[in-house]
């Protein structure tokens, strides 16, 4: 497997956008521009396979640390992490690189950012690939946290993450490498709900041996970054879900019009027990009319677990749109 340490041929920049600095890793081909957006708890490094695969096909690839992560700025207030802030950061990056219209690929919270970039500014997106988190319609009557509470109870990880400092205190009982392993190596397929009275991080288990797709060295790279940055920036995405919901009211009922591809692993958290009927049924297709759904064998961190398959899916999607 190609080591994540093969990063010497990448350019790194800290770019001023939307009042903060965002760090990006860049590998420049002459072809179309592709923006890669990571999720929780990751950094740009989660795309190391795809950066090289896409660049080898001639694409100009940029993978930022989203605000709150890695070497990007981390504003202290949770209210600075709405999808409007994240999309504004991304528009600033596109303007910095003089890119009017790009391809965007996102995983987890990065998928949510890619959906909203496509929703707010379809004029800037040629096509998008989202992984693991589908585009959910805005419920006009119920805030996300209340929906999750009613559906899964107080001990769903999303609900435990709401209170400022709570998850940080529970994570702090472990070293950063252990926390990263508990998340990135997750092979639980059901929704993450802690037993009553227990913190979710205490209930998460680490497999007895590393899977073949990641090395101890690569996991340590994440751990070192989170040791510097802390987890609060990433957790603030969860803490601002209700605020994003309030601000999204003008887009009630809006559709995603850009060509889209959705990729998910068949063993992703909650896929079989929660999101499968939505993803495979007609509801998402009415909200995202031009969508192709791909289900791969794998878990949540699919772009690292199945790097070649994911790269091939991204490249075939882009090539089809470029030819059109």
> Which residues participate in catalysis according to the annotation?
108, 238, 300
Beta bridge partners of 62: 26, 35
Contact 306, 274 (CB under 8 A): no
List, as own/partner pairs, every contact residues 2-5 make where C-beta atoms lie below 8 angstroms and the sequence separation is at least 24, other chains included: 2/48, 2/49, 2/52, 3/215, 3/217, 3/218, 4/45, 4/48, 4/215, 4/217, 4/218, 4/221, 5/217
Spell out the alpha helix ranges (H) of 5-64.
48-56
Which residues on adjacent β-strands are paired with residue 105?
A: 36, 129
Q: Are the beta carbons of 68 and 233 closer than 8 angstroms?
A: yes
The tokens for 236 are: 């603030």
Q: How far apart are CA 33 and CA 176, in angstroms?
A: 34
Strand order in the sheet with 11-17: 11-17, 20-27, 60-64, 33-37, 102-107, 125-131, 260-265, 291-296
Q: Say whether 200 sits in a helix, a strand or coil.
A: helix
CA nearest neighbour of 162 among 231, 241, 226, 248: 241
Q: Is 221 left (phi over 0), alpha (psi -120 to 50) or beta?
A: alpha
State how far the Cα of 23 lies from the Cα of 13, in Å rounded to an integer.
6
Residue from 214, 205, 233 nearest 72 by CA: 233
> At 131, which helix (H) or strand (E)?
strand 125-131
Cα 37 off chain centre by: 6
């Amino acid at each position: 497997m190609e080591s994540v340490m093969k990063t010497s041929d990448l350019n790194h920049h800290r770019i001023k956008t939307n009042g903060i600095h965002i760090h990006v890793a860049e590998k420049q081909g002459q072809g179309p521009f592709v923006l890669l957006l990571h999720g929780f708890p990751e950094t740009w490094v989660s795309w190391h396979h795809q950066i090289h695969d896409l660049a080898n096909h001639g694409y100009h690839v940029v993978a930022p640390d989203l605000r709150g992560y890695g070497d990007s700025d981390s504003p202290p207030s949770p209210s600075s992490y709405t999808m409007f802030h994240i999309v504004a950061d991304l528009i600033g990056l596109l303007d910095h690189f003089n890119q009017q219209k790009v391809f965007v690929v996102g995983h987890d919270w990065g998928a949510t950012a890619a959906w909203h970039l496509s929703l707010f500014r379809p004029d800037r997106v040629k096509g998008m690939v989202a992984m693991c988190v589908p585009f959910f319609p805005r419920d006009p009557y119920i805030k996300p946290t209340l929906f999750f509470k009613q559906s899964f109870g107080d001990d769903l990880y999303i609900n435990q993450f709401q209170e400022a400092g709570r998850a940080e205190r529970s994570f702090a009982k472990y070293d950063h490498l252990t926390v990263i392993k508990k998340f990135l190596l997750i092979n639980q397929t059901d929704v993450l709900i802690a037993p009553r009275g227990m913190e979710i991080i205490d209930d998460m288990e680490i497999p007895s041996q590393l899977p073949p797709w990641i090395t101890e060295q690569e996991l340590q790279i994440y751990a070192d970054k989170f040791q510097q940055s802390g987890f609060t920036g990433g957790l603030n995405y969860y803490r601002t879900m209700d605020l994003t919901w309030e601000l999204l009211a003008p887009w009630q009922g809006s559709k995603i019009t850009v060509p889209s591809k959705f990729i998910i692993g068949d063993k992703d958290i909650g896929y079989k027990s929660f999101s499968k009927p939505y993803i495979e049924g007609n509801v998402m297709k009415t909200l995202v009319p031009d969508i192709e759904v791909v289900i791969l064998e794998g878990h949540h961190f699919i772009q690292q677990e199945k790097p070649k398959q994911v790269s091939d899916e991204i490249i075939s999607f882009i090539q089809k749109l470029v030819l059109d």
